[in-house]
Amino acid sequence: MLLDDFAAHTENVTGNLKHGTGKNAHIVLSPQPSEDPNDPLNWPMRKKEMIIAILCLGALLNAGTNGPLLNASYFEIANQVGQSLNTVVIASGYNLLAAAASGPFVCAFSRKYGKRPVFLVSTLFCIVGTAIGEAKISYKYLLAARVVQGFSTSAFESLIIASVGDMYYVHQRGLRVAVINFILNAASSLASIICGMVFQSLGYLWLFHLFQIFCCIQFVLMFLFCPETTYIRDSRYDTDTVVDEKLAELVHIEDKVSHARITNSETTGTESQVQSYRKKTFVQELAVYTGVYSRDNIFKYLFGPFLTLLNPAACYAVITSGILNSWYVGSAIIIAGIFSSPPYLFNAAQIGYIGAGPFFGGMIGSILVAVGADPVAKYMGKRNNGI
C-alpha cells in the first residue's frame, strides 16, 4: 500500500491522485475517495467526528456499560431477589452468551444490508431489555432483561471499528481506533464505579432507570445524525485492502476526471458520470434501509466467521483474544463475591471503586497509542520507501 509518494519517489506517477492537505500533502489518500459526495470518505471532517462520537457513546452504553452494569452489586441484588450469588451472576453469563450468539448475525446482516439498521436494532434490544429490568425487582425479570440486553453488544464491539474504515483514511485511523478500544475495555471499569455508586445511593431500579435515559438519548442521536457509512465504490479505489493497487489505472481515471472538469466537455463519459452524482438530503440520510450491499447469499456471511477458524493463524488469534477477554470479564464478575464477604464486607459503591486501577491504567495505555499510532504509520511508511 503506497502511503508516502515523496518517500517512494513516485510524485510523477501519483501526482494526480488525491492527497492529504496541509502537513499531510505528501500522503496519498488510502483508500482513494470516489467523486461521489455521498462517499463517506468525502464527508466533512466535522460530520465524521460527530458520527464517531455518537457511535462511541453507543459503544460506551451497549458494550462498555451493558456488560458490567451489575458487577459491583451482585451480592446485594442476590439478597433483594432472594437468590444465591451464583444464580444472579449466571444471569450476566447469559448476557454474554446472547452477545456471542448474535455476533454472526450482526456480521451477516451488516454486510448484506449495511451497518445503520444493525446499529439501530441493537440499541433497541438494549432499550427493551432495560425496560424489562426496570419494571420489577425480580430474578425472572432480571434474567430476561440481561438476555435481551446481551443482543445489543456485538454490533458496537465489532462494526464501530469497521465504521472508522468506512470514513477515515489509513493515516487518520489510529487515534479513532485507540479511543474506541479505550471505551470498549478500560471504560467498562469506569462503568462499574458509577453503577456501584448509583446502586448504593438510589437502589436497584434506578440503576436501570438512569441507564435507560442514556440509551434512549443515544438512539435518537444515532437515528438523526448517523447515516449509513457502508459504501460501494470501484474496488480499484480500495487501495488499503486490495493486493494489487493498480495505481496506473487510478491515475488514468483521475486524469480523465480532471480533464472533464476543466473542459466541461459534454461528450466525455467521465464528465457525465461526475455530473450524475446528487448529494443526499438530510431526510434521505435518515433512511434505515438503504439497499443491498452484496448479492452474495446471506448464509455465506453467517457461516463465514466459522470457516475462518480453519486458518491456523485466525484460529490462534481468536483463541488467544478470547482467553484474555474471558479472564478480564471473569475477574470483573467475581469481585463482588470476594469483597462482599468477610473480612472486607464492601458495599456496592466500594466494590465499584476497585475498577479505578484498571480504568486509569487503560487510559494511560490508550493515550500512548492515540498519540503514537498515526505518526508511527507515517514514519514507517517513510522508512519503507513510501509503502
Q: Where are the domains of the chain?
A: 5-35+235-285, 43-232+290-376
pLDDT at 7: 46
pLDDT at 183: 87
* Residue carrying the nine cell digits 508516502: 4
**pLDDT level of residue 248 (50, 70, 90 thresholds):** low
Give the residue-averaged pLDDT of 129-137: 95
Burial code of 117-142, b = ≥16 C-beta within 10 A, e = fewer?
bbbbebbebbbbbbebbbeeebbebb
Residue 315 has pLDDT above 50, yes or no: yes
Highest mean pLDDT: which of 37-51, 257-271, 294-308?
Answer: 37-51
> Coil, strand or helix: which one is 344?
coil
Distance CA(302)–CA(311), nearest Å, equals 17
pLDDT at 8: 45
Burial of 84 (0-12, 13-18, 19+ CB in 10 A): exposed
pLDDT at 249: 60
Number of Cβ within 10 Å of residue 151's Cβ equals 23
> Coil, strand or helix: which one is 152?
coil
Residue 277 has pLDDT above 90, yes or no: no
**pLDDT level of residue 380 (50, 70, 90 thresholds):** confident
Highest mean pLDDT: which of 155-164, 305-314, 333-342?
Answer: 155-164
C-alpha cell at 344: 472486607
Q: What is the mean pLDDT of the chain?
A: 83
For residue 67, the 8-state DSSP code is: G
> Coil, strand or helix: which one is 42?
helix
Distance CA(366)–CA(351), nearest Å, equals 24
Residue 163 has pLDDT above 50, yes or no: yes
pLDDT at 236: 74
**pLDDT level of residue 40 (50, 70, 90 thresholds):** very high
Count the helix, strand and coil residues of the chain and give each as a percent rounded to the nearest 5.
Answer: 75, 0, 25
Residue 221 has pLDDT above 80, yes or no: yes
Distance CA(354)–CA(223), nearest Å, equals 36
C-alpha cell at 240: 488499503
Residue 264 has pLDDT above 70, yes or no: no
So what CATH class is 43-232+290-376?
Answer: mainly alpha
**pLDDT level of residue 80 (50, 70, 90 thresholds):** very high
**pLDDT level of residue 210 (50, 70, 90 thresholds):** very high
**pLDDT level of residue 334 (50, 70, 90 thresholds):** confident
Q: In sequence order, what are the residues at sequence separation of 6 or more whose Cβ sits closer than 8 angstroms to the Cβ of residue 1?
A: 30, 170, 239, 240, 245, 387
**pLDDT level of residue 16 (50, 70, 90 thresholds):** low
Least confident of 10-19, 285-294, 317-326: 10-19
Distance CA(340)–CA(59), nearest Å, equals 29
* Residue carrying the nine cell digits 504509520: 377
